């Protein structure tokens, strides 16, 4: 929770925190991370190209340069 809590808690805070509060914040953190994951997956689906073929850019090359 120290790492994934984005700096919200220190080791000392969690060590002295009552268990019911630790469980509460842990569940809130899990819910938040699941929502972030769903949002990222939705964004990835939306931005994924329909065809997987790469197209070369139309660049006119002049010989000798």
Query: pLDDT tens-digit profile of 17-53?
Result: 999 999 998 999 899 999 999 999 998 887 666 666 7
Structural contact between residues 14 and 1, judged by C-beta atoms closer than 8 angstroms: yes
What CA–CA distances, in Å, run from 22 to 35, 44, 45?
20, 33, 35
C-alpha 18: how far from its chain's center? 29
Q: How far, in Å, CA of 37 to CA of 33, rounded?
A: 6
Model pTM score: 0.60
């Amino acid at each position: 929770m120290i790492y994934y809590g984005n700096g919200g808690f220190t080791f000392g805070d969690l060590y002295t925190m009552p268990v019911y509060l630790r469980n509460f914040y842990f569940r809130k953190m899990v819910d938040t991370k699941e929502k972030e994951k769903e949002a990222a997956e939705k964004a990835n689906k939306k931005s994924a190209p329909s065809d997987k073929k790469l197209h070369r850019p139309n660049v006119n090359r002049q010989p000798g340069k």
